[in-house]
Amino acid sequence: MTTSRAPIDSETGRGRRGPSLDGRVTAAIRAAFFEELAAVGYGRMSVDSIVKRAGVSKAAVYRRWPSKHVMALTLISEVAVRGAPIPDTGSLRGDLVALLGGLCHALGHPLASKIIPAVVAEAHRHPELERVLRDTVEAPRRANAAQIVHRAVLRGELPRDCDMEMALDLMAAPVYYRLLVRKRDLDAAGIERLADGLVAALAAARDPA
């Protein structure tokens, strides 16, 4: 259910590079974007509906992003990439436990279970959106996660011919499938067991080349 409030946008100050942007307004728009995305999906979401939910002026949105498409890609990539630090615990198992715990926390958020499937489905219908999401979300996340594998190889925990692509798939897919497809929780003990299984699976994933 959306709410309509008087616009809170009051960005009248100027900085060294032009009008300053109120962080409170940006936060309100960001929250409204994800709430609206979860409620109606990307295709039915509009800038007008985001403005109404956030209680800001339409100009406040366009001062930050030139279109709904750019806003979606920017905000989704910020959450998906910048909000997912790569652990460095000193061991492959420790890194996997930390990584899996972070994934469970992110995917377990009430909005995530609605937003992620909606964005994936929309990307399948729009090849351009799918391409950009791969470039701005998937590629950076996989590059970050690859650091865990590279460090494990250097420590001798994984073979030098470890299949990187398969390893990266294995590190994320079980959590995604369990939480978003099967709708089942994964507790701390389950994360530990999964990490143990992944250590063995990654060691066995050899590059055929």
Here the CATH number for the domain that contains residue 23 is: 1.10.10.60
62-109 pLDDT, tens digit per residue, is 999 999 888 988 888 777 766 567 899 999 999 999 999 988 988 887
* Radius of gyration for the alpha carbons in the chain, expressed in angstroms and rounded: 20
**Same structural domain, 46 and 84:** no
Give the whole-angstrom CA distance, residue 175 versus residue 44: 28
| 25 found inside a domain | yes
Give the whole-angstrom CA distance, residue 162 versus residue 204: 8
Global pTM value:
0.74
| 38 found inside a domain | yes
**Same structural domain, 145 and 82:** yes
Q: How many domains does the chain have?
A: 2
**Same structural domain, 102 and 186:** yes
Residue-number span of the structural domain to which 138 is assigned: 76-204
**Same structural domain, 82 and 166:** yes
| 6 found inside a domain | no
